Amino acid sequence: MIVAMRVSVAMAAYHGEAYIEAQLASILPQLGPQDEVIVSDDCPGGETERLVRHMAEQDKRIRYVEGPGRGVLANFEHAISLCGGDVIFLSDQDDIWQPGKANKVKEAIANGALLVLHDACVTDAGLHPVEPSFFDTHGSRPGFWHNLLRNSFMGCCMAFRRELCGAILPFPADIPMHDQWIGLIATRVGRVTFLKEPLLLYRRHGGNVTGGGASFAVRLRWRWRLAIHLRERFARLDQAEES
């Protein structure tokens, strides 16, 4: 069943010229004429801008904007803030959407999900499978405490209702990444649905802007800061509900 809702895709770009055309080509056939792709480019003036602007001339659903130039967290925040759709999909610049991804996610949202997270097939740079299921390899499952300690929320596999923006924005400047922040808040305020179907080819090529490794000590500090900011944000949301 095709669900009627306007879709926005928030894509953060940074030196994405190697793969961004293929990524956009996998997304656009799944969108309707009223949908949009916001490409926020954190390194404007280069080949990524040229390629995206050229594609935008051919397809008006693509909107190129200059990013804030403050890193991936602020770049995603910028892209999300410009989205006007009922549902916001997050997108990296170098993956491939599998056919049917948009409709399957929209169906889950129409069935009551505030946020949807789907599985992915991890590949190398040439799209040869390395891990058939990201969920299986990384033990992904729902639950606030599980995902605070071991994050399942991978932004390129996420989509959420627009009304979640009021709870997640603005992003605290010193959290490790946007996706865990979004997923944990959605878990607290609404229903999160996990789809166990790999609807994305998650390309790992050594130059990815998101998904990098970190030491245990660094991850521990990240989670401590994240927990503090979550407590503050939840207090603010609770106060807003009471007023």
pLDDT in tens, the chain (243 residues): 556 899 999 999 999 999 999 999 999 999 999 999 999 999 999 999 999 999 999 999 999 999 999 999 999 999 999 999 999 999 999 999 999 999 999 999 999 999 999 999 999 999 999 999 999 999 999 999 999 999 999 999 999 999 999 999 999 999 989 999 999 999 999 999 999 999 999 999 765 555 556 787 887 888 999 999 999 999 999 999 887
Residue 177 burial (CB < 10 Å; 0-12/13-18/19+)? Answer: buried
CA distance 202 to 129: 9
Q: What is the pTM of this model?
A: 0.94
Paired strand residues for 159: 89, 116
Paired strand residues for 116: 159, 193
CA distance 58 to 49: 14
Give the residue carrying structure tokens 């590949």: 123
The answer to whether the CB of 209 falls within 8 A of the CB of 72 is yes
The answer to whether the CB of 123 falls within 8 A of the CB of 130 is yes
CA 198 vs. chain centroid, Å, equals: 15
Residues whose CB is less than 8 angstroms from the CB of residue 177 and which lie 6 or more positions away in sequence, other chains included: 72, 73, 155, 210
Paired strand residues for 38: 10, 63
